[in-house]
Amino acid sequence: MGKVMTVMKVFPQEGAELEGLSERVRKIEGCTSAKIEDFVFGAKIIKASFICEDAAGRDFEEEVKAVQGVSEVQVDEVGLL
């Protein structure tokens, strides 16, 4: 098969330190980037992307939701590379 890329927005819990949260997201196996970006009304989010083998069938959404400091996750894009 091929590789699958997942891009998502990671919303921090209120009061969560973004640099630390970004580092914890980066530690997930398969993470290729986790950047802090401006969102709306001055809020900031982490835009993260992950790559894995199609056959692996990993659920990065659930893995990221389990990270301490994550409030919500929104998958923006999933596609074959």
| Res 58: pLDDT | 87
Query: Distance between alpha carbon 35 and the CA centroid of its chain, in Å?
Result: 9
pLDDT of residue 57: 81
Q: Which domains does the chain have, with CATH numbers?
A: 3-80 (3.30.70.60)
pLDDT at residue number 17:
95
Residues of the chain with pLDDT under 50: none
Q: What is the pTM of this model?
A: 0.91
pLDDT at 55: 84
Beta bridge pairs of residue 77 = 7
